[in-house]
Amino acid sequence: MAKVHELLATGPTLSFEFWPPRDEQRFARVLDELGSLRPDFVSVTYGAAGSTRDRTHDLVASLQAASYLAVAHVCCAAHRRQDLVDLLDRYRSEGIENVLALRGDPPLDAAGALPEGELRFASELVELVRAVGSFSIGVAVHPEGHPDCGGALDVDLDRAAAKLREADYAITQFFFRVEDYLRLVDGLAARGVDKPVVPGIMPIDRIGQVTRMAEMSGATIPAEVHSRLEAARSDPDEVRRIGVEVATELAQKLQAEDVPGLHFYTMNRSASVLSVCANLGIGAVP
């Protein structure tokens, strides 16, 4: 199997993010449909406070066995260092060489807080992953700044640059304005970091879901998009059509900027992603 940073060096990539499914049959259909687009790699999320650790591992392993290049999300929040080493050793022994190193969501209450000395930041996790084995390491970056930075974009850029210097590439949180991505890349370049930054795109499929996720991630839904969605709230098909249109326009603008790839947050659904990719000349709508 290849490593993600090696693929990024050869040309633009197409990739999808999944999460461990509750409905295995439905997910099998989604995977079959999106698999027809021959993605360069797929990634698998890791639940809050490690709540899906085993299910994430099992899905990564099954995707790899099915000849997908699978990237395992690994989060340091709520885990001890040795637990992380054991997990990484397990992946390495199974031939999985691609990891997305994330801080992840911390425990929700004081009773679950980690003791002093455990990993607190993704940058520390990157160092640990590098020490454990020869992984291709990705990190997450936020075009509009991490929510914890409270709008201090320079502070967030400093942290993102420090993290990416030690990693091999980055994937962004989803966003809706190409200007936010370009500002991020320019800010990293000004700090001497020019490693690949793959833009993340999430086609809007459901208003409530994307609104909640945007609030959690620090992403902003542009006012004109928000007003169009609100006007169509009672018509799910129109909401999806608008979401496909917005995502297509963003992807086209990104392609014009020669981005290193496109990474789609699929939400374990295929229809909107298939439509966007068809609009881009990638595959076709069934």
CATH of the domain at 76: 3.20.20.220
In a domain, 168, yes or no: yes
What pLDDT does residue 138 have?
A: 98
In a domain, 286, yes or no: no
In a domain, 162, yes or no: yes
Number of domains making up the chain:
1
164: left (phi over 0), alpha (psi -120 to 50) or beta: alpha
Let me know: does 261 contact 198? Beta carbons within 8 Å. yes
In a domain, 285, yes or no: no
Let me know: does 201 contact 250? Beta carbons within 8 Å. yes
Catalytic-role residue among 6, 17, 144, 179: 17
What pLDDT does residue 51 have?
A: 52
In a domain, 55, yes or no: yes
How far from 154 is each of 149, 157, 163, 183, 231, CA to CA, in Å? 9, 5, 14, 11, 36
Show the tokens assigned to 72.
């395992």
What pLDDT does residue 286 have?
A: 46
What pLDDT does residue 151 have?
A: 74
Q: What is the pTM of this model?
A: 0.93
Domain that holds residue 74: 4-279
Let me know: does 4 contact 169? Beta carbons within 8 Å. yes
The residue behind tokens 């885990």 is 79
pLDDT tens, N- to C-terminus, the chain (286 residues): 799 999 999 999 999 999 999 899 999 999 999 999 999 999 999 865 555 668 899 999 999 999 999 999 999 887 889 989 999 999 999 999 999 999 987 655 555 555 555 888 899 999 999 999 999 999 999 999 988 887 788 999 999 999 999 999 999 999 999 999 999 999 999 999 999 999 999 999 999 988 888 888 889 999 999 999 999 999 999 999 999 999 999 999 999 999 999 999 999 999 999 999 999 999 754 4
State the Cα angle at 55 between 49 and 56, rounded to 5°: 70
Annotated active-site residue 166? The verdict is: no
What pLDDT does residue 285 have?
A: 47
What pLDDT does residue 246 have?
A: 97
What pLDDT does residue 52 have?
A: 62
What pLDDT does residue 47 have?
A: 67
In a domain, 233, yes or no: yes
